[in-house]
Structure 1
Amino acid sequence: MLARGSHENTGERLRLTLRALQSRNYRLFFAGQSVSLVGTWMQQVAMSWLVYRLTGSALLLGVVGFASQIPTFLLAPVAGVLADRWNRRRLLIATQSLAMLQAALLAAAVLTGVVQVWQIIALSVVLGCVNAFDIPIRQSFVVELVGRKEDLSNAIALNSSMVNGARLVGPSIAGVLVATVGEGVCFILNAASYLAVIAAITAMRITPARRHGARKHILHELREGFTYAFGFPPIRSILSLLAVVSLMGMPYTVLLPVFAKEILKGGAHTFGFLMAAAGVGSLGSTLYLASRRSVVGLGRVIAAAASIFGVGVAGFALSRELPLSLACLCLSGFGAMALVASSNTILQTIVEDDKRGRVMSLFTMSFMGMTPFGSLMAGSVASWLGARDTLLVGAVACLAAGLHFSRQLPRLREMVRPLYRQMGIIPEVATGIQSASEPTPPPEK
């Protein structure tokens, strides 16, 4: 009887964790993206190692990171307006096709032996422009794939687990391929991987969302999105915390080749292991979030996650041994993904449908758009201060930002309650930014 009950409980928890996959469109999306993202992580690892192999410069690592991500900061708000205006499925097919072309051009340059750093920078800018549109469109597209609104938080968590499962597999494969056959093969495989997601999106059966109201000038809708997001303190606080962590903490990935080669005395394999360790922590974080029954208490998770991430980065900066470095990166990966996925869930829950694309573009701008400035700053500072001290400064900033957000939580909870009652969202979701110990507020009479 105990064994049977144990199996039933395990099965129930598994169904709870995977409940968003009951939607056919989301299953297709999940399968296609799972293949494509492995290729994406392979390319990212191979590109970083290629730049460092060609130049031996931490500064140029920062420049390449800046080039690939600055378009997100500049173009994501415009992409958000388009996501609220146009058919998101068609937009995604276009962005995925362009990303496939970029990977193919990069592979051709490497395999023909003509690759130079300026070409890598130029192609990084191209991919950055594509991602500036792809990421906010893809984030807002997830809502259209889930049959039941109460499964949205689970879909977001599973989406994050998919990203980090690929982050675990991709760098490990890339480390082996770079060491044996070179970086070019990684770029070819990445180009081929985009076919999976394009096929999945094409196979979906989706009724396009109705756009309410007449279209306004794009600048008016852009300003409307900024006013809506930054005029509401809960959204503003989450975006601000993400921006600080992305600027000061996330660029640690840019300096991983330096740590792998100079401090840990390793090579491409070591770099791949470091990237995979962060992926292990991130995957564990998303599986934890996916297994939650509701979004109750995610406000506290956000505050704690920023601090956990800071501790992990600080420990990695001080470590000189590979096992300890891997453990610290696992911790930082857990904190980073818990922060991003929980923030995404709350924002997707509280935002109005007709402004979803614009708010998610600001989410992308805060999470991805600030990283290029951090990458450039990390590469520049590390060239004279050293990689270790650079990461320590960023870790302290993340700890301080997490503490500041936790002090704001009581005020933010009070602001979220009436909004959810007005929107008529189920009580479980309505307490998403509240602490788990708070009772659900009674419905208005």
Structure 2
Amino acid sequence: MTEPPPLRKNTKFQLLWIGSATSEFGSQLTRLAMPLLVLAVTGSPLSAGLVAGARTAATVLAQMPAGVWVDRWDRRRTLVTGQLVQAGAAAALAALVAAGHPLLWMFLLLAVVDGVCTAFIGPARSIAVRGVVPPEQLRAAYAQEEARTHAAWLAGPPAGGLLFGLGHAVPFVVDAVTVLVSAVCTVAARVPRRPAIAAVPAGDPAPVRPSMGRELGAAFRWFWQQRGLRDVSGAVMMLNLLGGAAILPLIVLVGERGGNSVVTGAVLAASGIGGLVGALISNRTGALLPPGKLLLAIVTIFGGAVALETLPFGKWWPMIPFVCISLSTPAINVVMNAVVTRLVPEEMLGRMDAVLTVVGRSLAPLGPILGGFLAATLGGAGALLCIGGGLLLTAAVAASSRSLRGFTGERAEVVL
């Protein structure tokens, strides 16, 4: 059997990766620019949290139908269409900012549009990677994907802070351009359009597709049979809630200590420093522990590091614990992507991506709102102490689950 070419020579994957890396950089520009803009317009951390929460809520609510439709529709067209609409939303926001003082409802509306697009782009792109990468190279591909994300986290926030200082609309113009570049790369990569469907013998009627409800029901039943995966997803749900809540208090804390937008961007860029290094070594660190125990270790590190951000060592200090957080997380992302790819049938990938995303992120829309509320009530340091304590409590509760501690991602764990 002929060996597949090295991943670096896989032109389709590399085009897809370049486009996604460009788009991710644009997204990370606005990761800092959006809350800074809302804070500048409204003066309210809670309003900034509402906007971020609205985007996340739109993604979560649209995830289920998006997963079903991605399994049914032309996946390449779905991916490109989502990217074009997302670029239009970023351009519209830039135009509103340049024209005057946008209102809060405008931020909320465009955040919802962006979130819905993300719900379609996520599973379509995940399946596209599987469509252009041989199974034996998927783990290496996911490691490269993880490195892309954290490289964008490293470069995006400080660039976003710098561009925001040049003009409040500038980061959103750049974001729109990066998404357009990603759409062009998707077209050039010629990713598979549709899931593989068995041929229908001549003369036989075409199979009737079950309803959306039945297809989602089948995906949920499959998920429910994976006992360890259920418990892992519950822990991930709390990690996403509390991890998402920690960003706004961190921004507030740096501001309270005298940091401007450039300093805040540099502190947030610490996630890219640790994450990029973590992604490069994720294959090795991911092999140190089975997925369940690896997750427990990461939640514990996350909670302790969030609490350490509050130590009174100046505006730059939070960067150091933030590096520790981001250094640990890539391994579990790569490992879980490989586990899901190995376990889930190809024709169910879109739906299962939706199910796992919805379960894992079901509380995520509340994260920015919770963080904004705690920051407005307790200040940056008080909010981070509460969130860090919540993460440590999550780790302690999750450790009591035998199925989570023993989760390895093997098919033998299915409960019939």
Give the TM-score taking structure 2 as reference length: 0.89
Match of 1:198 among 183, 186, 211: 183
**CA deviation profile, 1:145-195 (whole Å, cap 9, x unmatched):** 21x20211221121111011011111111111222x112111111111112
Given the alignment of the two structures, is residue 163 of structure 1 paired with residue 149 of structure 2, yes or no? yes
Find the counterpart in structure 1 of residue 201 from structure 2: none
Aligned counterparts of 2:158 and 2:96: Cα–Cα separation in 1: 23
- 2:242 is the alignment partner of 1:248: yes
Match of 2:137 among 131, 143, 151: 151
- Whether the aligned pair in 1 keeps the contact of 2:52 and 2:365 (CA below 8 Å) is yes
- % identity of equivalent residues: 26
1:416 CA drift (Å): 4.8
Question: Gapped runs of 5+ residues in structure 2?
Answer: 199-206
State which of 165, 173, 182 in structure 1 corresponds to 2:167: 182
Amino acid at match of 1:130: C
* Aligned residue pair count: 401
Q: Aligned partners of 1:73, 1:211: CA distance in 2, in Å?
A: 28
Query: Whole-Å Cα distance in 2 between the matches of residues 295 and 140 of structure 1?
Result: 27
| C-alpha separation in 2, matches of 1:156 and 1:100 | 25
Could you tell me how far apart the structure 2 residues matched to 1:78 and 1:170 are?
31
Residue 370 (str. 1) matches residue 399 (str. 2):
no
Q: Is the 8 A contact 2:71 2:195 kept in 1?
A: no
The structural deviation recorded for 1:407 is 4.9
Deviation for aligned residue 1:69: 0.8
> Are 1:273 and 2:266 counterparts?
yes
CA contact (8 A) 2:231 2:403 kept: no
2:50 to 63, 66, 78: 63
Distance of 1:239 and 1:200 partners within structure 2: 32
Q: Residue 326 and residue 19 in structure 1: after superposition, are their counterparts in 2 closer, same or farther (change >3 A)?
A: farther
What residue ranges of structure 1 are gaps of 5+ in the alignment?
1-17, 422-445
Shift of 1:377: 1.9
How far, CA to CA, are the matches of 1:356 and 1:364 in structure 2?
12
Where do 1:291-370 residues align within 5 Å? 297-370=290-363
- How far apart, in 1, do the equivalents of 2:273 and 2:119 lie? 26
Counterpart-to-counterpart distance in 2, 1:170 and 1:415: 34
- Would the alpha carbon gap of residues 119 and 322 (structure 1) be closer, same or farther in structure 2, given more than 3 Å must change? same
Match of 2:71 in 1: 84
Q: Is the 8 A contact 1:282 1:338 kept in 2?
A: no
Q: CA deviation at 1:420?
A: 8.8
**Once the two structures are superposed, what CA deviation does each residue of 1:12-35 show, in whole Å capped at 9, x if it has no partner?**
xxxxxx953342211111111111
Q: CA deviation at 1:331?
A: 1.1
Q: Is the Cα contact below 8 Å between 2:64 and 2:351 reproduced in 1? A: yes
Letter in 1 for 2:60: F
With 211-220 and 228-237 compared, the bigger mean Cα shift is at 211-220
The structure-2 alpha-carbon separation of the partners of 1:37 and 1:414, relative to structure 1 and needing over 3 Å to count, comes to closer
Give the AA of the match of 1:307: T
Q: Distance in 2 between matches of 1:248 and 1:411?
A: 20
